[in-house]
Amino acid sequence: MHDKGWTRPCSKPHSIYMEVVREFTVNFNLAITDEEKECAYETYVRGVWVPFSSDVIGHFYGVPKGSEAPAITNWNAIVHVIYPIDNPKPWLQSNVVRHGDMRNELYLLHSFMASNITPTTYLIEIYPAWMMILYQLATGHNLNFGEHISNTIMDLASNPKGRSKLIFPGLISALCK
């Protein structure tokens, strides 16, 4: 994690201004046409347009842009990286993995992702999409964290229930500063 520069998202957050974070989330323009797609990752806060694209977030955290993750064709290869035993049972893509059954390294990577990259408080079961990310991290692929974070913000902003959630308050406060 240190070699790849991934510890920066874990560092102490900047000053947090909750009113600004709420305004950031509430003011999304969800009626964006295909021609306006370039402006999709912007929101209006205190009279100023604030960008939050993957490039802006990646630059803020100082992490490399990352590369395309390779397609995973053999899910059983993931099993050998995830579980701490030598001969794990075959794992089907539709199955979930229990958080406590993973190797300690993957357990820590999962906690890192859940608290800093794609916030979640549900840590008991890990689904295939998360397993792919953890596998890619564990095998040394450069992931585009800026893209994951900006997509998470956009997904929550697009969901009426998600707009009330306050995610990445330190990052959002710093971007709006």
Which pLDDT belongs to residue 146? 82
97-131 confidence digits (pLDDT tens): 776 777 777 777 777 777 666 666 666 667 667 77
Q: What 8-state DSSP symbol labels residue 46?
A: T
Distance CA 84, CA 104 (A): 8
* 2 or 43, which is more confident: 43
Which pLDDT belongs to residue 92? 55
Mean pLDDT of 53-58: 85
> Taking 70 as the threshold, does the pLDDT of residue 32 lie above it?
no
Distance CA 170, CA 155 (A): 19
Q: Is 0.85 surpassed by the pTM of this model?
A: no
